[in-house]
């Protein structure tokens, strides 16, 4: 656990707030974030970049809560967005539009038009068709469109196949082998302004060798482009640094990572764009849930919680495993083995299998750790279960930063036509 989420006299605290205090006032399940952890992670990342002309464009998809984005904005960070909605979230939270990068393989015309009117740092372009679409819209608006081509280096980052983005059979980017020709084509388009090159090879990466190979390929491409009079201002190296989810997980060394960037890309007279997401917010969050029932079947013991896969889907999506701890330690020394599952009507609504836990009782509160990234942001109202609330803690205060909608608020978004 990070030091902002720890036990005091057997009670779990987030910063200086007892989690039991929150659970006494708010129905579970709910997320709790440590603002200090987010700040500390950001500052540590920024310090590791010293000596580089760089900018941190936080990956909004990791956790798009406005309070999280406001924390990033206060620290001078930018944003990496993948939709107009995320772009508008970033602006609402106070992030400078000149520090916003628009990524994603499926940008729509209205998204391109709106962001072009407002301004941004660059579009990370993923295909020739998208490049042509951006140019057409820019011509119609009489605006210059700043672009970087996202190149696919065909490198296996050694991560889960569902979050790998840098191999040739992934949908992302333009083959690096054809990038030079496409840059030449882009340079002839009327309203396209080439400003950078972009790459992102996946998430939850611990092997720095994959980054080394990627950066070396980028450096080679940039030098080849210089020889054709195409000047690159920004090198967007994406994100992807992994975090520690289990005690035996390998965690990449941030200092070594940034040293690698300096050694390979630091002398190219370019600004480096970093896009960390999980690394900034992952360990800042917990998901608090209550034990509803203990159930014994022929072969298994099940611990049924009130949190479901609609509230937290990483286990169902990626087979992810998160540590689960009690809000209040009992120190009984008695343990039992359970499959920890949720109430959703799906077999994939399973968080942990054969999990050893201090003997739980119905009504106990538990917490999943390290859920600040890809937690609430992926939640849904499946089974008509209201979206899970989010709380942010800062020092001795805690505030609701997203409320749980009522059933009436859910139903009010739907309409029954009068077919008569």
User: Does the pLDDT of residue 294 top 80, yes or no?
Assistant: yes
Q: How far apart are CA 189 and CA 41, in angstroms?
A: 41
Dihedral Cα 14, 397, 394, 10, nearest 10 deg: -10
Query: Catalytic residue numbers?
Result: 345
User: Does the pLDDT of residue 159 top 60, yes or no?
Assistant: no
Co-location of 154 and 124 in the same domain: yes
Positive or negative torsion for Cα 36, 38, 40, 46: negative
Confidence (pLDDT) at 254:
94
Number of folded domains in the chain? Answer: 2
Q: Are the C-beta atoms of 1 and 278 separated by less than 8 Å?
A: no
Confidence (pLDDT) at 365:
98
Co-location of 177 and 317 in the same domain: no
pLDDT category of residue 72 using cuts at 50, 70 and 90: very high
Confidence (pLDDT) at 180:
94
Confidence (pLDDT) at 355:
95
Is residue 169 assigned to a domain? Answer: yes
Confidence (pLDDT) at 204:
85
Q: Are the C-beta atoms of 180 and 221 separated by less than 8 Å?
A: yes
Structural domain span for residue 360: 5-33+282-411
Q: What average pLDDT does range 194-198 have in this prediction?
A: 97
- Least confidently predicted of 79-83, 253-257, 368-372: 253-257
User: Does the pLDDT of residue 156 top 70, yes or no?
Assistant: no
Co-location of 333 and 248 in the same domain: no
> Per-residue pLDDT tens for 125-142?
999 999 999 999 999 999
pLDDT category of residue 85 using cuts at 50, 70 and 90: very high
Confidence (pLDDT) at 248:
81
Is residue 43 assigned to a domain? Answer: no
Angle at 89 between CA 83 and CA 94, to 5 degrees: 135
User: Does the pLDDT of residue 295 top 70, yes or no?
Assistant: yes
Q: How far apart are CA 56 and CA 20, in angstroms?
A: 35
Per-residue burial over 305-315, b if 16 or more Cβ lie within 10 Å, else e, is bbbbbbbbbbb
Co-location of 335 and 401 in the same domain: yes
Co-location of 315 and 227 in the same domain: no
User: Does the pLDDT of residue 298 top 90, yes or no?
Assistant: no
Q: What are phi and psi of 358, to 5 degrees?
A: -55, 135
User: Which pair of tokens denotes residue 364?
Assistant: 């106990």
Is residue 81 assigned to a domain? Answer: no
Co-location of 294 and 260 in the same domain: no
Tell me the whole-structure pTM to 2 decimals.
Answer: 0.94
Confidence (pLDDT) at 8:
96
User: Does the pLDDT of residue 354 top 60, yes or no?
Assistant: yes
Is residue 242 assigned to a domain? Answer: yes
> 278, 238, 194, 265: which is closest to 104 by C-alpha?
238
> Per-residue pLDDT tens for 312-343?
999 999 899 999 999 999 988 899 999 999 99
Is residue 267 assigned to a domain? Answer: yes
User: Which pair of tokens denotes residue 197?
Assistant: 């090159």
Domain's final residue, options 274, 307, 330: 274
Co-location of 315 and 241 in the same domain: no
Q: Are the C-beta atoms of 236 and 124 separated by less than 8 Å?
A: yes
Domain containing residue 136: CATH number: 3.20.20.10
For residues 140 and 158, the model is more confident at 140
User: Does the pLDDT of residue 158 top 50, yes or no?
Assistant: yes
User: Which pair of tokens denotes residue 342?
Assistant: 């949720």
User: Does the pLDDT of residue 96 top 60, yes or no?
Assistant: yes
In 265-404 the beta strands, taken as DSSP E runs, fall at: 271-274, 285-296, 301-305, 324-326, 335-341, 350-358, 365-369, 390-394, 397-402
User: Does the pLDDT of residue 310 top 60, yes or no?
Assistant: yes
> 86, 94, 138: which is closest to 117 by C-alpha?
138
Q: How far apart are CA 142 and CA 146, in angstroms?
A: 13
Co-location of 208 and 351 in the same domain: no
> Per-residue pLDDT tens for 383-407?
999 999 999 999 999 999 999 999 9
Co-location of 352 and 267 in the same domain: no
For residues 252 and 172, the model is more confident at 252
Mean pLDDT rounded to a whole number for the chain: 93
Domain's final residue, options 256, 274, 292: 274
> 197, 205, 266: which is closest to 226 by C-alpha?
197
| Largest Cα–Cα separation, the chain | 72
pLDDT category of residue 171 using cuts at 50, 70 and 90: low
Co-location of 194 and 130 in the same domain: yes
Domain's final residue, options 224, 239, 274: 274
User: Does the pLDDT of residue 220 top 60, yes or no?
Assistant: yes
Q: What average pLDDT does range 177-203 have in this prediction?
A: 94
> Per-residue pLDDT tens for 35-64?
999 999 999 999 999 999 999 999 999 999
Is residue 127 assigned to a domain? Answer: yes
Q: Are the C-beta atoms of 323 and 245 separated by less than 8 Å?
A: yes
User: Does the pLDDT of residue 239 top 90, yes or no?
Assistant: yes
Helix (H, G, I), strand (E, B) or coil at 332: coil
């Amino acid at each position: 656990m990070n030091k902002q989420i720890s036990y005091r006299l057997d009670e779990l605290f987030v910063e200086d707030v007892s989690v039991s205090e929150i659970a006494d006032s708010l129905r579970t399940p709910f997320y709790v974030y440590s603002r200090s952890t987010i700040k500390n992670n950001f500052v540590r990342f920024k310090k590791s970049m010293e000596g580089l002309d760089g900018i941190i464009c936080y990956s909004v998809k990791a956790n798009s809560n406005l309070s999280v984005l406001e924390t990033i904005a206060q620290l001078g960070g930018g944003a990496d967005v993948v939709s107009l909605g995320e772009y508008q979230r970033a602006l609402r939270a106070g992030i400078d539009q000149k520090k916003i990068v628009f990524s994603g393989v499926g940008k729509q015309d209205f998204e391109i038009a709106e962001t072009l009117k407002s301004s941004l740092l660059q579009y990370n372009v993923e295909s020739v068709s998208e490049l042509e679409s951006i140019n057409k819209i820019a011509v119609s608006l009489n605006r210059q469109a700043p672009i970087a081509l996202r190149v696919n280096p065909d490198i296996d980052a050694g991560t889960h196949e569902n979050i790998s983005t840098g191999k040739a059979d992934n949908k992302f980017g333009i083959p690096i082998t054809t990038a030079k020709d496409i840059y030449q084509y882009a340079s002839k388009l009327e309203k396209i302004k080439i400003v950078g090159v972009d790459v992102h090879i996946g998430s939850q990466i611990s092997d720095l060798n994959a980054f080394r190979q990627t950066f070396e390929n980028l450096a080679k491409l940039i030098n080849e482009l210089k020889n054709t009079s195409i000047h690159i201002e920004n090198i967007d190296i994406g994100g992807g640094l992994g975090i520690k989810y289990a005690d035996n997980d390998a965690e990449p060394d941030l200092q070594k990572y940034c040293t690698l960037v300096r050694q390979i890309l630091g002398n190219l007279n370019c600004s480096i764009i970093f896009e960390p997401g999980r690394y900034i917010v992952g360990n800042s969050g917990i998901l608090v849930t209550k034990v509803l029932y203990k159930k014994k079947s022929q072969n298994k013991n099940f611990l049924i919680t009130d949190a479901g896969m609609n509230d937290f889907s990483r286990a169902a999506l990626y087979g992810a495993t998160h540590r689960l701890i009690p809000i209040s330690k009992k120190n009984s020394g008695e343990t039992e083995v359970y499959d920890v599952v949720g109430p959703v009507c799906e077999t994939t609504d399973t968080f942990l299998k054969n999990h050893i836990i201090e003997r739980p009782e119905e009504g106990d509160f538990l917490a999943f750790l390290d859920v600040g990234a890809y937690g609430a942001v992926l939640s849904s109202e499946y089974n008509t279960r209201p979206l899970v609330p989010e709380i942010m803690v800062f020092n001795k205060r805690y505030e609701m930063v997203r409320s749980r909608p009522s059933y009436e608020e859910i139903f009010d978004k739907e309409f029954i036509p009068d077919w008569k």
